[in-house]
Chain A
């Protein structure tokens, strides 16, 4: 089943073409890797899919729903969540609040029922609270739920960002350089974590990454981007031997 269909997606920043005629058919349960040099347009794809930018041209469909042009909160509500290249947590808020905020679209009550503290409001709040704590427990952060996000160590901040994205109950998770700034041991743990959440939360994942070890290990399908266009697509082996990719991005082995 095809979950996400992107057709002829193009985005210009003034005169600069950040992305041109990008196409993608993402099947449910897939794990797609996107690699390429800095400035190739990788994060632009994420920003277009999640509604941060409005595309100059092209369409993005989630299952049968056209989502390009919708507001970011609506798109996230439909089931696409993401993390950020530079960690962007609600840094002065507690871990628990970081997670609870991401429940917004999936918390159903009217403002007036909050103001008058109806029973429905109370039970919904309790549900969100419990679900948030379960999610924190899944990441081993349950004992720190009152800590401010900014006081977490770097590696855990990355994990909290993933946990926060999962709180929106996504079908598709977009990970933007999740391994940036991590040492080999942490990257190892991250690979295990990605496999674990993919299974546990039945996710389809797109991952942008510069750590080849991670991409080549866990992504069965890889797209390579350069100057806003896809120059190669295939499994890790095909990508590693693709002459265009070696020239543009991977580089040659030293003789």
Chain B
């Protein structure tokens, strides 16, 4: 029984990580920007949804309010995504990385300094409302929405931005529109993942959502492959499972994981599935 519960827990982590990886892949993979602040959106979703379920909703309504709380967390994160999208109009590459890094820091330190939500000590009191059903539900919604976005003029616009932003604009792509929607959708799902995680481990603190967490998500994206949904699923799964398998090695885990990454970047710089897609993820009219 204990073994089973453990496996179910790992599967839920995998689901949450798939949501994180696919949503970041939209920005870093498909659009080719370099965002390193994904954990900042996660934090927003985690805190907003937790505050709602702990402080606002009476206990007997919790089960019904939970999905709404998750959505509210996602929307709050999406609002911040909208704000982060604006500097991306002017800067890209290294400079946008610094902007998103700063965003991650700002959100984290802001929460650390708000005593009413526990400050640096963190926040608890959430019921364990996240279950396999909700994880699967949100993973599917996330994959469906991002797939639909990617296989539309907006997704193709994102690929054009990745390839050559100036030419994309000259070929009539409204790059600002594409960036806004990509950031809003991406941060929404990061917020959702944050909410799910908060109600799974029942404790959140700002330090859980620092740059190290953002880096973990980056690793999943680049391990699995840029601009590929199948890649992100694979990357999130391998990363989560590997982390568990290597747990007995303790400290050495932090040596082996980066080594794996280095070799991957040397031999498959675009990741396992880079720019390729699992055929059944491609809409039928696109399978030519």
Contact = CB atoms under 8 A, between A and B. Distances in A.
Interface of A: 50-52, 71-73, 76-77, 81-82, 84, 88, 90-93, 96-97, 100-107, 109, 111, 114-117, 121-122, 125-126, 128-129, 145-146, 164-165, 167-168
A115 B175 CA distance: 18
Interface in B128-147: 145
B288 interface: yes
A23 B279 CA distance: 54
Contact of A52 (B152, B163, B170): B170
B163 A104 contact: no
B160 interface: yes
B163 A90 contact: yes
Contacts of A103: 153, 172
Given A103-B153, A104-B157, A129-B285, A77 B148 contact: no
Nearest to A96: B288
A73 B163 contact: no
Given A52-B166, A111-B181, A97 B156 contact: yes
Contacts of B152: 109, 111, 114, 121, 125
Given A111-B154, A146-B288, A101 B149 contact: no
B53 to A, nearest CB: 26
B285 A145 contact: no
Contact of A114 (B148, B168, B172): B148
A41 B175 CA distance: 28
Contacts of B285: 122, 125-126, 129
B164 interface: yes
A106 B163 CA distance: 21
| 3 nearest A-B pairs in the assembled complex, by CB-CB distance | A105-B172, A114-B152, A90-B163
A103 B172 CA distance: 7
Contacts of B171: 73, 76, 81, 101-102, 104, 164-165, 167-168
A102 B275 CA distance: 20
10 contacts: A73-B172, A73-B174, A88-B166, A90-B160, A90-B168, A92-B163, A102-B172, A103-B172, A114-B148, A129-B285
Contact of A117 (B148, B166, B172): B148
B198 interface: no
Contacts of A82: 170
B173 interface: yes
Contact of A88 (B149, B156, B167, B288): B167
B244 interface: no
Nearest to A50: B170
Interface of B: 145, 148-149, 152-154, 156-157, 159-160, 163-164, 166-175, 181, 275, 285, 288
B176 to A, nearest CB: 8
A19 to B, nearest CB: 19
Nearest to B173: A104
A47 to B, nearest CB: 10
A73 B175 contact: yes
Given A101-B157, A101-B173, A128-B153, 18 more contacts: A50-B170, A52-B170, A72-B169, A72-B170, A73-B169, A73-B175, A81-B171, A82-B170, A90-B164, A90-B167, A91-B163, A97-B159, A114-B148, A114-B149, A114-B153, A121-B152, A122-B285, A167-B171
Contacts of A71: 169
Contacts of B174: 73, 104-105
Contact of B168 (A51, A96, A101, A109): A101
A101 B175 CA distance: 12
Contacts of A90: 159-160, 163-164, 167-168
A71 to B, nearest CB: 7
Contact of A76 (B157, B170, B181): B170
Nearest to A108: B153
Contacts of A115: 145, 148-149
B172 A104 contact: yes
Contacts of A77: 172
Contacts of A107: 153
Contacts of A128: 153
A51 B275 CA distance: 31
B172 to A, nearest CB: 4
Given A111-B152, A111-B154, A101 B170 contact: no
A132 to B, nearest CB: 11
Nearest to B288: A146
B132 to A, nearest CB: 25
Contacts of B160: 90, 93, 101
Contacts of B167: 84, 88, 90
Contacts of B169: 51, 71-73, 76
